Structure 1
Amino acid sequence: MATAQQTLIPAQDKSRLKREFRKHLKTDVTLRFFTQRPSPIAIPGRDCRYCPQVQQLLEEMTALSPKLTLETVDFFAEQEKARTDGVSRVPAVLLGMESGGRVRFYGLPLGYELPVFIDSVKAVSRGVTRLSVNSRKQLRRVNRPVHIQVFVTPGSEVSAGMALLAHAMAVESRHIVADVIEAEEFPDLVRRYGVRQVPLTIINEFSTVSGMVGEEEFVEKVLQAGVQQPQES
């Protein structure tokens, strides 16, 4: 586990990220971080083991570009803001509050999930993703709310692929919210959804995708949940 003296982003990676952010970030991106403030008293149900590390990671990252801003919110002290943003647990990071904060990460994004987080920051800033032209066109048909939850672990490269696709869809459509959830940090959600392996993707609570699927199939699943056909008169 990292200590306060250790950096979560190695020096050589910071230099590379500075160059990447300078090249790829077009508009400002606010990272809204819901956390638990340190307390000398242990309160049952309010333990956030990874909140300090997430804060450290975000501070290191936002220091690499003037276009990145970190906003820290005390989850328990500012419950109204949490409810408004649809945040029910910590640590949670919402990317791009300027565009609604639909791209979200729950937990500490390390391992294979750190590149996902960085790529999502760049996509939010640019307003465009790596999805195919056809996928972007199809996602414009989404006309009702879609909530995507992708359960991942830092050591799962396959999980990273699904996380990238989910976040890209949230960038492309204002009707889509995509949560990438670090499964090991949220055992209550793992039990609720019966997560036995990752990636596991839940769409609007009723549609489940196990493992990695291709972009076209994933988009089709989202369309099934998010396209309301006009009623015949």
Structure 2
Amino acid sequence: MPAIPDKDKQALKDRFKKELKNDVTIRLFTQRTFGLTIPGRECRYCDQTQALMEELAALSPKLHMEVKDFYSETKEVREACVDRIPAIVLTKGAGSNVKFYGIPAGHEFTTVLDDIVTLSRGVSPLSLDTRKKLKRLKEDVHIQVFVTPTCEYCPPMARVAHAMAMENNHIRADVVEVQEFPLVAQRYMISSVPKTVINNRVQFVGAVSEAVLMDKVLEAAGLSPEERTTPAFSTAPELGPSTRQSA
């Protein structure tokens, strides 16, 4: 059974043909099991994620797929700052600022699609004000956005975080499908999504505007926003059992 329904493939081909400009590499960090399961190295969704990304990459000559083994290709893992699998890195070259941990199913499939288009076109969806503020960042910033496939509030937060990482090389933005990583959920005490953690210093739950997220990034970096924006949080759904949707 295909990871992407046949009825959707032609629509994606048409979209990519129309919207993609430059080549984009989908770099997947996974594990090669050769039919064996090693205790302590189980990866429930690695095979499904690889199948999904391979089918996606096959829909356009401008998309290229690379598969890296998490346990044997340690240099690449270290350089990409990958600490769990499956991990998807989207890049136009050697960069690794834009990551998605887990299988991008449900609403999060659109996040990956939009990220690919944004990278390929090289046109930022961010406002001019946000791009000006991003230029103030001279130190590294790590944004983590925790999501689930059924959360409708999550993709906008994920896309803005990734767009910021595309705009400024000091930003590393990870979108994490938290139901696949229960230890991560425990560490950050995640009970509802989206939850955003920046530099392990600033964190909040709910969907906020681009301007508010920008202010939070500056706060985490120790910079004062030129103008404070009053947060306007959207109601976030409680984190519940996974009900995965087809990508």
TM-score normalised by L of structure 1: 0.92
**Cα offset for 1:227?**
6.2
Q: What do residues 68-91 of structure 1 show as CA deviations (whole Å, max 9, x unaligned)?
A: 100000100112211111111100
The equivalent position to 2:24 in structure 1, one of 22, 29, 32, is 29
Distance 1:29 1:99 in 2: 11
Structure 2 runs not aligned, ≥5 long = 225-247
The equivalent position to 1:42 in structure 2, one of 18, 37, 46, is 37
Structure 1 position 135 matched with structure 2 position 125: no
Distance 1:11 1:198 in 2: 31
Distance 2:160 2:21 in 1: 21
Task: Tell me which stretches of 4 or more aligned residues in structure 1 moved more than 3 Å.
Answer: 226-229
Distance 1:29 1:58 in 2: 13
SS in 1 for 2:9: helix
Distance 2:156 2:4 in 1: 21
Structure 1 position 198 matched with structure 2 position 193: yes
CA contact (8 A) 1:105 1:181 kept: yes
Structure 1 position 54 matched with structure 2 position 49: yes
Distance 2:168 2:184 in 1: 25
**Cα offset for 1:42?**
2.6
2:160 corresponds to: 165
**Cα offset for 1:113?**
0.2
SS in 1 for 2:200: coil
CA contact (8 A) 1:31 1:68 kept: yes
CA RMSD of aligned residues (A): 1.5
Distance 1:32 1:147 in 2: 20
For residues 1-233 of structure 1, what are the structure 2 equivalents within 5 Å?
6-96=1-91, 98=93, 100-226=95-221
1:3 corresponds to: none
Amino acid aligned to 1:44: P
Distance 2:143 2:164 in 1: 9
CA contact (8 A) 1:50 1:91 kept: yes
**Cα offset for 1:97?**
5.1
Q: 1:164 and 1:217, CA in 2 relative to 1: closer, same or farther beyond 3 A? A: same
Distance 2:217 2:21 in 1: 28
More displaced, 92-101 or 190-199? Answer: 92-101
Q: What do residues 145-190 of structure 1 show as CA deviations (whole Å, max 9, x unaligned)?
A: 0111110000001011211111111111111111000010001110
TM-score normalised by L of structure 2: 0.87
CA contact (8 A) 1:95 1:104 kept: yes
More displaced, 206-215 or 220-229? Answer: 220-229
**How many residue pairs are counted as aligned between the two chains?**
224
Distance 1:184 1:115 in 2: 18
SS in 1 for 2:155: helix
**Cα offset for 1:101?**
2.0
Distance 2:220 2:22 in 1: 31
